[in-house]
Amino acid sequence: MARSVTRRNHARSRAVVLADTVAEATKRLRYVADGKVVQGVALADSPAPTGPVFVYSGFGSQHRKMVKDLFAHAPFFRDRLTELDRIVDFESGWSIRDIILDDEQTYDTETAQVAITAIQIALTDYLATLGATPAAVVGMSMGEIAAAYAAGGLSAEDAMLIACHRSRLMGEGEKSLSEDQLGAMAVVEFSVEQLDNFIAENPDFAGIEPAVYAGPGMTTVGGPRQAVLDLVAKLEAEEKFARLLNVKGAGHTSAVEPLLGELAAAIAGIQAHPVRLPLFSSVDRGRVYQPGETVHDADYWVRCTRQSVWFQDAIEQAFAAGHTTLVEIAPNPVAIMGMMNTAFSVGKPDAQLLYALKRKVPDTHTIPDLLAKLYVAGAPIDFAALYGAGPIVDAPAMPWKKQRYWTSARPAAGGSSGSLLGQKVSLPDGTFAFHALADTVPSPIALMEAVVMELAPGATLVAVEEKATLPPSGELSVLASRNLGGLTIAIHQVLGNTVMLVAEGFASSLGGNVEPVLGTPAVVESQEASEPLSDNVSSESLKWDPTSGETVEQRMRLIVSEAMGYDIQDLPGELPLIDLGLDSLMGMRIKNRIEHDFSLPSLQVQALRDASVADAVRMVEELVAVQHDTPAPEPVSAKPVDAPKAAEKPKAPEEPAAQLQEEKPTVAEQDSQPEGVVKQEKKATHGVGVAPRDASERLVFATWAGLTGAAAAGVTSELPDITRDVAEKIAERLNERASTEITADQVLAAETLEPLANLVREGLESDVSGNIRVLRERPAGSTAPSVFLFHPAGGSSVVYQPLMRRLPKEVPVYGVERLEGSLEERAAAYLDEIERYSDGRPVILGGWSFGGVLAYEVAHQLRNTNVEVATIALLDTVQPAHPAPDTMEETKKRWERYSKFAKKTYNLDFPVPYEILETAGEDALLTMMAEFLANTDPSEHGLSAGVLEHQRASFVDNRILDTVDMHRWQDVDVPVMLFRSERMHDGAIELEPAYAEIHYDGGWSAIVNDLEIVQLAGDHLAVVDEPEISKVGRALTERISRISHM
């Protein structure tokens, strides 16, 4: 199909769909039809006015297996790199090709620099055969060499000669110095001027020099090691961003000056040519060398080696020239973050920042993705060269799209003044009357407060009773009369010639300690239905009973597995929960559930964060033993306890948490190799990998961790070597759990967990199908409505397992998992699956927190479809009584709070780039945060990929929740159940103080006609766990019974 459609004329509008399966291609083609750009879809209605800029980045993009796959399956690239390798062999006496083909070899300072340059040149020529060529070039440090070749300023032979001698001299210089003589480099939060001023004001740091100006707030400095270490410490103490780089020298500083003379002599014979393309130089600040100029003589390369790298200025010049597409040509993108900062700072947040290759992502994905994006921007990509010769199919031709252009607009009959209160009329008896439009009034309280401000600015609204729900539209009549104590206010709905009382209230003008009203919800259910639910839930035992036969360990493993999404039998006992992806929300839910199920006093959540399952079991067993005055049993999975310790009296309740802290392994223990893992040098890591994303990946992740004794950094992270004995055990375990036939050889051959997960997925009956997690299938013969529960902010629908058990067994329950995109896009992607799983029956849509917003948006989009939404269940989905203002000052405060939270909770430094926030806005900063978390080094904080991804996703989802306008759903005429906690949890208030005050109705009375409020105990985090979830289950069961009998 791809080969066939690439033969056609595509004119101005172009789209490319990248897919691995027919189903995936069909789904993404529908997105193209709707004009939506999602992952795997490139789409544009006109070519870009300027071509792409190829950016050749510097040292740091190397990794052990770079271009290994491309070298194997791309003949042109392999042949070109082999030609360049002959030059390396002649000049330096070693072979790039040998390192690529031999996994036992790796790169050092010299070989990495030469190999990167050769790869950049070969990749440039390979892309040219496919029709992807640059309109201009930028070089960064040693990347200037390949940029010179791409621009036509150097031959390939001279470019490789420069790379060989430059890298040789640097490698020799590094090896000639002792450890204490080596320099150091660090990235600091300084601009050019700020760094100059700082050094002038702090003469102790005079030895530190600027090396690379990568982007706003991203300046690399170098100098004597101790001075650089002191600078990093000083800036961190001042809460400024500073990070030490893992290098053994100080490039682009005076430290390289002893090499310059020999370098000039070695490259004196090169022949510079006039450039054919514009060159945005990072060597000569602010210079743009135009076609025809001769630039790249020996002196240019001496300056390139010694001077600071003006990369930010070069990128600014590229944007100033009108370019909006920048492509990093390197084995792995290392310059994109700096380019992104620069793009935001110059008002180009929509710039396309692309890359050709990326570590741990197959080039069969990255190269077509790059070509697709260049193609829709107007590049003459030759896809036939990519797909080769082969059969052609008779694909459908272009259909005509009929469009009606007659307008349906009609002249308006009139309009309002836009004020909340309409015209004021003074009646003879002293009463004041106002006219208002219901669709402009957020709530009865807001309308009454407007009346108070109009008639008695010093009075306080102290009592409100809502007699009926505020209508979504229509006319309102407001009457206010003065009396001795203040104002009496009544709001009526105008229905033709009749009026109906909606709400009445009183505003006191007496002063004193009068508490303002927070609002009382409308009473729309019968008295019987609105009575509080009993705490005594008899459907099954909620609390742990020591006489039940269930051990503490069994209940604990159930609690942890439900909170974290692992099957009980796959949950490793001895690994820290933080390594398995424990985040702050999971920790609080586990803590609350333990306290409830075992009737224990308050626990320290930090003790759980640092503990393993076995540690947590021991802690709870000791607490339970003290509570029941019985000896603590030994957990099944715990290590043996020696006799003297077993005979000791159990410790006091507050001691186990401290004991966990004391029993943490020593540094020597942490550095030891787990049993079954072949001893090897620690491998460098870039980024934190990918967290387990479904049941198959969680099974493989947990099995590997449990049998090797060490969790992988992520699903796509490189695995250590293991023994055959351990590989056989892993294969046996996976085959037992997934009914597969995985062999030990396949386990040993796996470089990451991902291929093993793919094998498991074929046999494992996963609970997740597409976007739906099947919590309970529809039993045979069931006619009950389907319940769809949408994931909370940044989380998984696995949190609804306790609720599923509280609903009747004939009720099918489905969890809806997280997608990226806007609220509208996410909801649209769920509709087909919800219709399929509804089985033609009414549905109940619900969710906790952000999940409730998703449920409402899906209900909105299901109008006028075959799916009947019978009820929307909101689990504490609320908005603040007084939302934070949408101002830049408030936005800065919010990001400051988030930065402090990340530092306090996870020791994660995320400096807020205020300049970018001001110029590019919050969406741009969210993109930056995603890139930051995707590339942060786990060795600096010890956090897993799951924790970091949860924090990012939670922030994104909560920003949608905070800013959503409920009035967009006024046309949803569906009964709503609101399960309200007593208060928002402290963590949410810390991040958004506006949540400290929430109206009883959560703000929903403004749009909901049929609202039932069920009051729960505890804070927001307690809603989805026992005992509160039993109250939710009971109320939903009653509602389901009514729906089933309608």
DSSP string, 368-406: HHHHHHHHHTT----HHHHH-S--------PPP------
What pLDDT, on the 0 to 100 scale, is given for residue 85? 95
Judge whether residue 416 has pLDDT over 60.
no
Type and span of the H or E element at 827? helix 823-838
Query: Judging by beta carbons within 10 Å of its beta carbon (0-12, 13-18, 19+), is residue 544 exposed, middle or buried?
Result: buried
| CA gap 1035, 974 in Å, rounded | 17
**Nearest-5° Cα angle at 195, 194 to 200:** 100
| CA gap 330, 61 in Å, rounded | 6
3-state secondary structure of 840: coil
Q: Are strands 218-224 and 279-280 parallel, antiparallel or unpaired?
A: unpaired
| Residue predicted with more confidence, 180 or 637 | 180
Look at 81-95, 173-187, 876-890 and tell me which has the smallest mean pLDDT: 173-187
| CA gap 977, 992 in Å, rounded | 25
* Ordered domains of the chain (ranges, CATH): 1-45 (no CATH), 53-173+259-360 (3.40.366.10), 183-247 (3.30.70.250), 426-508 (3.10.129.10), 552-625 (1.10.1200.10), 695-765 (1.10.1200), 772-880+976-1045 (3.40.50.1820), 888-964 (no CATH)
| CA gap 362, 754 in Å, rounded | 13
What pLDDT, on the 0 to 100 scale, is given for residue 409? 45
Under a CB-based contact definition with an 8 Å cutoff, are residues 169 and 161 in contact?
A: no
Estimate the share of the chain in helix, then strand, then coil, as percent rounded to the nearest 5.
45, 15, 40
Encoding tokens for residue 304? 């390139």
3-state secondary structure of 123: helix
Q: Is 475 left (phi over 0), alpha (psi -120 to 50) or beta?
A: beta
Residue with tokens 């749009």, as numbered in its chain: 1007
| CA gap 103, 99 in Å, rounded | 7
Look at 94-98, 446-450, 810-814, 828-832 and tell me which has the smallest mean pLDDT: 446-450
What pLDDT, on the 0 to 100 scale, is given for residue 512? 53
All residues at 6 or more sequence positions from 477 whose CB lies less than 8 Å from its CB, including other chains:
433, 434, 435, 436, 491, 492, 493, 494, 499
Residue 468 banded pLDDT, cuts 50, 70, 90: confident
Q: Kindly report the pTM of this predicted structure.
A: 0.48
Encoding tokens for residue 46? 């006109």
How far, CA to CA in Å, does 751 sit from each of 718, 719, 760, 1043? 6, 6, 16, 52
Sequential DSSP letters for 983-1038: B--HHHHHH-GGGGS--TTTTGGGT-SSEEEEE-SSBGGGTTSTTHHHHHHHHHHH
Look at 304-308, 872-876, 926-930, 945-949 and tell me which has the smallest mean pLDDT: 945-949
**Residue 269 carries which DSSP code?**
T
| CA gap 61, 58 in Å, rounded | 7
**Residue 203 carries which DSSP code?**
G
Q: What is the pLDDT of residues 672-687, one digit of tens each?
A: 445 555 544 444 443 4
Under a CB-based contact definition with an 8 Å cutoff, are residues 948 and 713 in contact?
A: no
Type and span of the H or E element at 671? helix 667-671
Residue with tokens 């505020």, as numbered in its chain: 470
Look at 636-640, 708-712, 761-765, 934-938 and tell me which has the smallest mean pLDDT: 636-640
**Residue 690 carries which DSSP code?**
-
Sequential DSSP letters for 10-48: --S-EEEE--SSHHHHHHHHHHHHTT---TTEEEESS--
Type and span of the H or E element at 145? helix 143-151
Alpha-carbon torsion 1013, 1016, 1022, 1024, what sign? negative
For residue 401, the one-letter residue type is K
Look at 346-350, 416-420, 559-563, 634-638 and tell me which has the smallest mean pLDDT: 634-638
Look at 269-273, 319-323, 464-468, 617-621 and tell me which has the smallest mean pLDDT: 464-468
Judge whether residue 573 has pLDDT over 80.
no
How far, CA to CA in Å, does 697 sit from each of 693, 749, 766? 6, 17, 10
Look at 247-251, 574-578, 610-614, 873-877 and tell me which has the smallest mean pLDDT: 574-578
Select from 847, 859, 838 the least CA-distant residue to 778.
838
| CA gap 921, 959 in Å, rounded | 13
Select from 897, 894, 898, 899 the least CA-distant residue to 921.
894
Other C-beta atoms within 10 Å of 666: how many?
8
**Nearest-5° Cα angle at 308, 305 to 311:** 105
Residues 794-805 as b or e (16 or more Cβ within 10 Å = b) = bbbbbbbbbbbb
Q: What is the pLDDT of residues 477-495, one digit of tens each?
A: 999 998 877 889 999 988 7
Beta strands in 656-794 (DSSP E): 768-769, 772-776, 786-790
How far, CA to CA in Å, does 426 sit from each of 434, 451, 481? 9, 13, 10
Residue 982 banded pLDDT, cuts 50, 70, 90: confident
Mean of the pLDDT values across residues 756-779?
A: 74
Mean pLDDT rounded to a whole number for the chain: 81
Type and span of the H or E element at 488? strand 486-495
Q: What is the pLDDT of residues 724-763, one digit of tens each?
A: 999 998 998 888 766 678 899 999 998 888 788 878 766 5
> What is the longest distance spanned by two Cα atoms in the chain?
106
Under a CB-based contact definition with an 8 Å cutoff, are residues 790 and 858 in contact?
A: yes
Residue 1045 banded pLDDT, cuts 50, 70, 90: confident
Judge whether residue 917 has pLDDT over 50.
yes
| CA gap 1016, 59 in Å, rounded | 58
Residue 123 banded pLDDT, cuts 50, 70, 90: very high
Judge whether residue 832 has pLDDT over 80.
yes
Residue 701 banded pLDDT, cuts 50, 70, 90: confident
The CB-side HSE value for 540 (13 A sphere, CA atoms) comes to 12
Judge whether residue 789 has pLDDT over 90.
yes
Under a CB-based contact definition with an 8 Å cutoff, are residues 249 and 183 in contact?
A: yes
What pLDDT, on the 0 to 100 scale, is given for residue 808? 93
| CA gap 577, 120 in Å, rounded | 42
Judge whether residue 146 has pLDDT over 60.
yes
For residue 198, the one-letter residue type is F
What pLDDT, on the 0 to 100 scale, is given for residue 574? 67
Select from 187, 248, 205 the least CA-distant residue to 909.
187
What pLDDT, on the 0 to 100 scale, is given for residue 115? 96
Encoding tokens for residue 924? 């741009």
Under a CB-based contact definition with an 8 Å cutoff, are residues 162 and 267 in contact?
A: yes
